[in-house]
Structure 1
Amino acid sequence: MAKIAFILLCHKDPDAIIKQAQSLTAVGDYMAIHFDASAPRAAFDRIRAALADNPNVTFAKKRIRCGWGEWSLVQATLHAVEAAAEAFPRATHFYMLSGDCMAIKSAEYAHEFLDRRDVDYIESFDYFQSDWIKTGWKKERLVYRHWFNERTQKRRFYATFELQKRLGLTREIPADLEVMIGSQWWCLRRRTIEWILDFCRQRPDVMRFFRTTWIPDETFFQTLVRHLVPEQEIESRTLTFLMFTDYGMPVAFYNDHYDLLLSQDFLFARKISPEARELKRRLGVLYAAEGARFRISNEGRSLHRFLAEKGRIGRRFAPRFWETESSLGRERELLIVVCKKWHVAKRLVQRVRQMTDIPCIDYLFNEESCALPDLGGIQSSVEKRHRHRRALVRMLFDYYESDRLLVCLDPSNLDLIEDFCRDRAVTRLLEVECQVSDVFLVGHAMRVGLAGDRTPRETLNRLLPTIRNDMVHESDRIRDAQFDNHLRLREIDPPETNARAIAAFLGVPGDTAETLAETDHLFAD
């Protein structure tokens, strides 16, 4: 059975570190601690004294001062890894942690998980080909030497960089290495750790190279594992659940995140807020639990993104330059059916196709699979359709040789609705208002990735009111925009009322509108 040696890098809160070590070693696992030399000596002595009688805890033989983005973080990790490898010969896996991490599964679950597959868990993506680095420096991290800390010695950091750049003092990456990148939170097998330690002793050239790279904790272990371990024995993922805000800062978890954390397909999570005392207490007890069962739904990231975006709704992009002053055509008429229940809109639109000669397109800006004619590639992806929205619709008018066109849009596409309603063409809007049950909301949450088949009922119960309110908010935003020719078709209204709205929207005779309003099972789920 797996036995884990935790590699803990920490720099503060000695009481929390002591509790963390006691919790994780109580079931027979191990821990090697590196406590930042920048922290007070008294805090370190307190940790050592509290854990002195714990045979499953050891300490890095050398403490060093650590700084973000520096080699010192990798060196501290290596010191702790060396201590763990020597002190705990029975350890089968070495798991990298910080003081802000806590287990979100039991030790029983974690051991069974690691026994299931003989692989190393570490994010390891091609440094130059992947998009792991979203913004900022890429090759500059590697081909220039970085001796100073960017946060504490900013002037020196950028001065030496600019000097090297001006003089062309670049360097070569070691020829036999393919540099990889990924999260610094990994879990490696003992054999892999021993190979890495041997490699460090045998390749001083590689050590010199990484000592002056920038943010080497995202590249050093990731590169060496890929260099030393067969590809089929690497699972390119982290077992630590973490998320980042739009500003690149780690998301902190609080007391009410307990159920969400346990349902994620990870063994640990960071960062747990220092103020989340109840969450820390419950997670501290969890690791030693026996017989615990976990329902993995894994919707955490999409759920957080959905909830975090509320209150920040606005237009993200200005009009594209190729669409400025462009128009669908003053003589044309664009009919827009807006409905959250796509199947209801499609049912209505299918009847419109059968009873009129109006060309109709389903959710072309929402569904990749929407049936569209070949328009030279502009229709090939939802992203392209959004980017060339007016050009696409103009081409559809031309393709169908019609001055009238009907399209379906989701209520969340307010920017599209606003764009088209401001056009010189005549735009009519038919908002289809449906009754929404909890069953539909659950299905919607699953379709958009906010929930999964195994999401706990308690999580769904908390989520459904937010989704329902979000749908109401979308409808309110459309009404607040006060579009001309805005009509409503409501499930709760009688067919004769809905027929009047359809007649005005489509410009069809009353009897045709009545037939459309009486479409069998129009609003059925």
Structure 2
Amino acid sequence: MSRIAYILLCHKDPDAIIRQAERLTATGDFMSIHFDARAPREDYEKIRAALDGNPAITFARKRIKCGWGEWSLVQATLHAVEAAVEDFPRATHFYMLSGDCMPIKTAEFAHDFLDATDADYIESFDFFESDWIKTGLKGERLIYRHFFNERNSKWLFYTSYEWQKRLGLTRAIPEDLQIMIGSQWWCLRRRTIEQVLDFCRARPDVMRFFRTTWIPDETFFQTLVRHLVPRQEIRTRTLTFLMFSDYGMPVTFYNDHYDLLLSQDFLFARKISPEAQELKRRLGALYSATGVSFQLSNEGRSLYKFLTGRGRIGQRFAPRFWEKEATLGRDRELMIVTCKKWHVAKRLLHEVRQRTNLPAIEYLFHEQSTPLPDLGGIQATLEKRTRHRRALMRMLFDYYQTDRLIICLDPADLDLMHDFYGDRSRTRMLEIQCQFSDEYLLGHAHRVGLAGEHTPPEVEARLLPTIRNDVIFESDRIRDAEFPHLYRMRETNSPEQNAVPLAAFLSIPHDQAREIAQTPYLFSD
């Protein structure tokens, strides 16, 4: 059976560290602790006094001062790993933790999980080809030497960097290494850890290289493991559940996140709020429990994105420079059909095309697969379509040689609606309001990743009102925008009633609109 040696890097809250160490070693596992040398000496002595008598706990032989983005974080990890390898010969796996991590599964589950697959768990993406780095320095992290901390010595950091650029003082990456990048929270097998330590002793050139790279905790182990271990024995993922906000800050979990955390396909979670004492108590009790089964739905990230996004709705500050003077054309008419049930809008557009010969394009800003003509590449991706929306629409008007064009938009895209209504062309919109059953909303939640196959019914029940209110909110926002020439069809209306707004929207005779409104199964799911 697997035995885990937890590698704990920490710098504060000695009482929480003591509880964490006692909890994780009570079920037969081990722990090696590096406590930051920047922290108060009395905090470290308190931890040693409480834990020195526990044979399952050891400490890094040397404490060093750690700084974000520095080599010191890797060096501290190596010190703790070396102590664990030496003191715990029965440890089969080594798992990186911070003081903000808590288990979200039982020890029994964690051991069974690791026993099931002979593999290392570490994020390991190609440094240059992946988009793991979203902003800031990328290749410059490696080819220049970084002697100063960007957070504590910003002027020195960037002055040193700029002088190296001016003087052309670049350096080569070790030829035999493919630099990889990923999260620092890994779980590695014993033989992998031993290979890494042997490599560190045998390759001082590689150690010198990484000592002056920027943020090496995201590249050092990730690169060495991929260099030393066959690809098929690596699972490119972390076993610690963590999320980041749009601003690059780690998402913090609180007392009401207990059910969400347990349903994620991970063994630990980071980062738990210091104030979430009830969550810590429940997770701590869970770890030592036996016979617990978990329903894994894994919808945490998509659910977080959905819920936080609802509070960030607004318009951008100014037009994009390539659209500032762009217009679809003063004599052109853009007709927008907006409906949350995309299949209803698509059925309507199919009938409109058949009966009016008007060119009509489905959800071109939402579905990559929407059929579009070749417009020189501007239509190639959703990102390009949205970024160059007015240019795209002008080209579509020109391609179809028409002054009237219908498109579909999702009701959530209020910014697109505002943008098109702000153009000098004539714009009108038809909103199709549908009825939403609980079954349909649950299906929608599954389709967009807000729920999974094993999401507990009680979680789905709590999610349903939020999704339903969100659909209503989107319709209210359209109404509050007071767009001119806005017409509404409703599922609850008769075809005769719906023919009136449809005729006005399309500028067609009432009889022709009634034929379209009578489309069989128009509102069926």
- Per-residue deviation at 1:318? 4.0
What CA deviation, in whole Å up to 9, does each residue of 1:12-32 have, x standing for no partner?
Answer: 111111111111111111111
Q: Residue 129 of structure 1 aligns with which residue?
A: 129
Q: Residue 174 of structure 2 aligns with which residue?
A: 174
Q: How does 1:41-80 map to 2 (within 5 A)?
A: 41-80=41-80
| 1:312 correspondence with 2:296 | no
Change (3 A) 1:31 1:158: same
| 1:101 correspondence with 2:104 | no
Q: Which amino acid aligns with 1:304?
A: Y
SS of 2:21 mapped into structure 1: helix
Q: Residue 212 of structure 1 aligns with which residue?
A: 212
Deviates more, 1:470-479 or 1:317-326: 317-326
Q: Residue 17 of structure 1 aligns with which residue?
A: 17
Cα distance in 1 for residues equivalent to 2:327 and 2:208: 60
- Per-residue deviation at 1:323? 3.1
Q: Which amino acid aligns with 1:130?
A: S
Q: How does 1:277-288 map to 2 (within 5 A)?
A: 277-288=277-288
What CA deviation, in whole Å up to 9, does each residue of 1:477-518 have, x standing for no partner?
Answer: 211221111111112223332111111111222222222223
Q: Which amino acid aligns with 1:21?
A: A
Q: How does 1:247-258 map to 2 (within 5 A)?
A: 247-258=247-258
Q: How does 1:373-388 map to 2 (within 5 A)?
A: 373-388=373-388
Q: Which amino acid aligns with 2:73?
A: L
What CA deviation, in whole Å up to 9, does each residue of 1:221-272 have, x standing for no partner?
Answer: 1111111111221111111111112222111100111111111111111000
Change (3 A) 1:436 1:220: same
SS of 1:408 mapped into structure 2: strand
| 1:454 correspondence with 2:454 | yes
Q: CA RMSD in A?
A: 1.8
- Per-residue deviation at 1:456? 1.8
What CA deviation, in whole Å up to 9, does each residue of 1:250-295 have, x standing for no partner?
Answer: 1110011111111111111100000000110111111112111111
- Per-residue deviation at 1:166? 3.7
What CA deviation, in whole Å up to 9, does each residue of 1:77-123 have, x standing for no partner?
Answer: 11110111111111111000000001111111111211222111111
Q: Which amino acid aligns with 1:406?
A: I
Change (3 A) 1:86 1:328: same
Q: Which amino acid aligns with 2:341?
A: K
Q: How does 1:276-355 map to 2 (within 5 A)?
A: 276-316=276-316, 318-355=318-355
Q: How does 1:147-186 map to 2 (within 5 A)?
A: 147-186=147-186
Cα distance in 1 for residues equivalent to 2:444 and 2:419: 26
Cα distance in 2 for residues equivalent to 1:109 and 1:317: 49
Q: Residue 396 of structure 2 aligns with which residue?
A: 396
Q: Residue 367 of structure 1 aligns with which residue?
A: 367
- The alignment of Structure 1 onto Structure 2 pairs a total of residues equal to 525
Cα distance in 2 for residues equivalent to 1:187 and 1:424: 58
Cα distance in 1 for residues equivalent to 2:400 and 2:215: 56
SS of 2:487 mapped into structure 1: strand
Q: Residue 189 of structure 1 aligns with which residue?
A: 189
What CA deviation, in whole Å up to 9, does each residue of 1:113-152 have, x standing for no partner?
Answer: 1122211111112222222211111232222222333333
Q: Which amino acid aligns with 2:205?
A: D
Cα distance in 1 for residues equivalent to 2:73 and 2:423: 56
What CA deviation, in whole Å up to 9, does each residue of 1:155-212 have, x standing for no partner?
Answer: 4333433443343333322222222211111111100100111111112222222222
- Per-residue deviation at 1:324? 3.1
Q: Residue 500 of structure 2 aligns with which residue?
A: 500
Q: Residue 3 of structure 2 aligns with which residue?
A: 3
Q: TM-score normalized by structure 2?
A: 0.96
Uncovered stretches (5+) of structure 1, i.e. residues with no partner = none
Cα distance in 2 for residues equivalent to 1:138 and 1:375: 33
Q: Residue 427 of structure 2 aligns with which residue?
A: 427
What CA deviation, in whole Å up to 9, does each residue of 1:46-90 have, x standing for no partner?
Answer: 222222332211111111111111211111111110111111111
Deviates more, 1:166-175 or 1:408-417: 166-175
Q: TM-score normalized by structure 1?
A: 0.96
Uncovered stretches (5+) of structure 2, i.e. residues with no partner = none
Q: Which amino acid aligns with 1:441?
A: L
Cα distance in 2 for residues equivalent to 1:195 and 1:319: 55
| 1:464 correspondence with 2:461 | no
Change (3 A) 1:322 1:161: closer
Q: Residue 28 of structure 2 aligns with which residue?
A: 28
Q: Which amino acid aligns with 2:274?
A: P
Cα distance in 2 for residues equivalent to 1:385 and 1:438: 33
Cα distance in 1 for residues equivalent to 2:54 and 2:494: 75
Q: How does 1:256-275 map to 2 (within 5 A)?
A: 256-275=256-275
Cα distance in 2 for residues equivalent to 1:394 and 1:151: 47
SS of 2:9 mapped into structure 1: strand
SS of 1:459 mapped into structure 2: helix
SS of 1:454 mapped into structure 2: coil
What CA deviation, in whole Å up to 9, does each residue of 1:423-458 have, x standing for no partner?
Answer: 333222111111122212111122222221222222
Q: Residue 116 of structure 1 aligns with which residue?
A: 116
Q: Which amino acid aligns with 2:60?
A: A
SS of 1:488 mapped into structure 2: strand
- Per-residue deviation at 1:317? 7.0
Change (3 A) 1:269 1:343: same
Q: Which amino acid aligns with 2:300?
A: G
Q: Which amino acid aligns with 1:339?
A: C
Q: Which amino acid aligns with 1:488?
A: R
SS of 1:349 mapped into structure 2: helix
Cα distance in 1 for residues equivalent to 2:50 and 2:376: 71
Cα distance in 2 for residues equivalent to 1:342 and 1:472: 16
SS of 1:58 mapped into structure 2: strand
Cα distance in 1 for residues equivalent to 2:127 and 2:326: 41
SS of 1:371 mapped into structure 2: coil
Q: Residue 415 of structure 2 aligns with which residue?
A: 415
